[in-house]
Amino acid sequence: MLAWWMQNLWDQNPVILVSWVYWVIFAIVLHELAHGWAAIACGDRTPIESGHMTWNPLVHMGHMSLIMFALVGIAWGLMPIDPSRFRRRIDEALVAAAGPGMNLLLAIAALALYAAWIGLANPTSVGPVLHDNVIIFLKVGVMLNLTLCLFNLLPAPPLDGSRILATFIPPYRRLLQSEQGVYLALAMLVVLFMFAGKHIFAVAMKVTGVLTGLIEILITPGTSP
């Protein structure tokens, strides 16, 4: 039986569900690979030595993440790194920023493909169903990658934003490494998932709607987005 969130998306449109599942897995895999590529460039070969430089979602997400994704729609990934191997102190922040940066690039790429599809694909020649399904697929790609980018930049462990902030603010790093930091991190995560998550998702949806609407107006004047 489909989990409730899957059933909800399926009832809206099966294409939305398929697009959602594809983009979540694809975006997390590339997010983690971006961490790995950045770490390797900064002198840390841990991603290679641990066997994580692969496109296999099971390696990056693990069985538990995939099970949680199927049950409640929450998923995560992991890229092992060793900051002691970095050449510079700032490298940890650069490696952390590479993940959200990849999600931003994926959102931009999906938006560019959306513009190309709107401008070049004729609904009559490709078929209205395919035309509309590709539009849905690309819109979901923009929205989900914007969501992942913004969410991962929040300064709460284990999100990337916490490592970026800790690199430049030593007291914050010491706090996170203390015994109290463990409880602080847990409390911050609970608050973020309960309150910040839905707002970030709403912002990403709004931005996606505005950007795709502008593209439609610019490429096909006279049409309503």
Q: What pLDDT does 179 receive?
A: 73
Displacement of CA 96 from its chain's centroid (Å): 13
What DSSP string runs through 8-46?
Answer: HHHHH-HHHHHHHHHHHHHHHHHHHHHHHHHHHHTT--H
Extract the residue ranges of the chain whose pLDDT is less than 50: 1, 225
Q: What pLDDT does 221 receive?
A: 64
Q: What pLDDT does 1 receive?
A: 47
176-183 long-range contacts, CB within 8 A, separation 24+: 181/157
Nearest residue to 163 (alpha-carbon basis) of 79, 104, 107:
79
**Do residues 36 and 157 touch, judged by C-beta distance below 8 A?**
no
Taking the model in full, what pTM does it have? 0.91
Radius of gyration in angstroms for the set of CA atoms belonging to the chain, rounded to a whole number: 19
Tokens of 159: 């999100």
